[in-house]
Chain A
Amino acid sequence: MNIKNIAIALSVLLVAVAALLLMQKGNYVDQATEHYNKTTTNIFKGSSKIVEYVGSSIDVNKMVWALACEGIQTAKSSQDMAKLEAKFFPSTKGSNSKAKMTRHFEASTFYFIDSKFAKVDTDKKTDVWYLNNLSSIDVSALLGLVTPTMAAPSEDEEEYEE
């Protein structure tokens, strides 16, 4: 190989190295941008989901609290409670227990109340029994004092990154 070919080859190599040098910064910017976008998007999605899921949990919670508060002020019988339940939760019904003289209303596995009545009466027209004289409403589930029997609804679990 003569010196002419070597000189030409080195000139080409020089141009290539110079081009690499110029592109070098761009590669780092691209890599850093990609990493930044991926990480911050995860934070954004994770945090937004927490806000959304807790918001949905509160939406149910507040209606059960409102039911309990209105019930304790205005309801007398299990029929009154049933009407209030229908007002706050049109598609969910509570159930009476004759033996315990309670009415259980469960808006979700976590959020439920138990209304306690003093006596069992019978509707003279329909001959159907109902609970009367509401004495108290147990809001333990709204205060977090119970352990739900079923597992929590398992949505995508979000990590709270540091």
Chain B
Amino acid sequence: MDNKKFKILAIADAVIIVGLIVVMMILKGNYNDQAVASVKEQVGTYQETANTMLQEQWKSVDQYGMAWKLVYVTLTGDKTEKSFDAAVKAIEADRDARFKQLAYMYTAAGIPDKVQNDIFEKGGLADKFLLKDEGGVKEVACGKGCVVSFTFAKGKFKSSDYKALVEYNLANNFKLEAPAEFHFE
């Protein structure tokens, strides 16, 4: 090749290099934005899943605590249906006592107050307690997948079944799936 052709080649190279660098700079910004957005979205989704699970667990422990309190109050009270109904309402309505009992169990587990408050502020307390009240048979929720029952006959306490509470395995009811693979979208 003569010098003229090399000159043309050199100019073409230079032009293409400049073009590629420009493309690279544009793509750099795009890729960066894309990467930040993808990570933010996918981490956010996973964080939300984890938070929802922790809030559900918190509410289950709330129901669990209320259920034990109700069992104990029922066993040690005057054992009338009227007192039981009043106890259900009183226990459910006393949100301060519920929080105190609940937070105590979390503190006993070594969960810092800040974490507890974050869960509580986002999720609140359980919104269900009494599940069934038919013909003297009353069922209350004692956590996710946990129900205790009390039977009354003619206004008097007959029996209680709180086996589910004694056997309740909280950790088995809350499993967070491992994070999915990352997708660069």
Chain A residues with CB under 8 Å of chain B are: 2-4, 6-7, 10-11, 13-14, 17-18, 20-21, 24-25, 28-29, 31-33, 35-37, 39-41, 43-44, 46-48, 50-63, 65-66, 68-69, 72-73, 108-111, 136, 139, 142-145, 148, 152-155, 157-162
Quick check: B43 and A144 within 8 Å, CB to CB? no
Quick check: B46 and A43 within 8 Å, CB to CB? yes
Quick check: B69 and A143 within 8 Å, CB to CB? yes
Of chain B, the residue at the smallest CB distance from A11 is: B13
* Chain B min CB distance to A161 (Å): 6
Quick check: B71 and A69 within 8 Å, CB to CB? yes
Q: Is the interface of A mostly helix, strand, loop or mixed?
A: helix
Chain B residues within 8 Å of A72, by CB = 72, 75-76
Residues of B32-79 whose CB lies within 8 A of A: 32, 34-36, 38-39, 42-43, 46-47, 50-51, 53-54, 57, 61, 64-65, 68-69, 71-72, 75-76
Q: Is the interface of B mostly helix, strand, loop or mixed?
A: helix
Complexed CA–CA distance, A61 and B61 (Å): 11
Q: Which of B51, B57, B109, B115 contacts A159 (CB 8 A)?
A: B115
Quick check: B110 and A37 within 8 Å, CB to CB? no
Q: Is B93 an interface residue (CB 8 A)?
A: no
Given A143-B69, A153-B110: A11 and B35 interface contact (C-beta under 8 Å): no
Complexed CA–CA distance, A84 and B106 (Å): 26
* Chain B min CB distance to A152 (Å): 5
Of chain A, the residue at the smallest CB distance from B28 is: A24
Complexed CA–CA distance, A2 and B7 (Å): 10
Chain A residues within 8 Å of B184, by CB = 28-29, 32-33
Quick check: B38 and A161 within 8 Å, CB to CB? no
* Chain A min CB distance to B94 (Å): 11
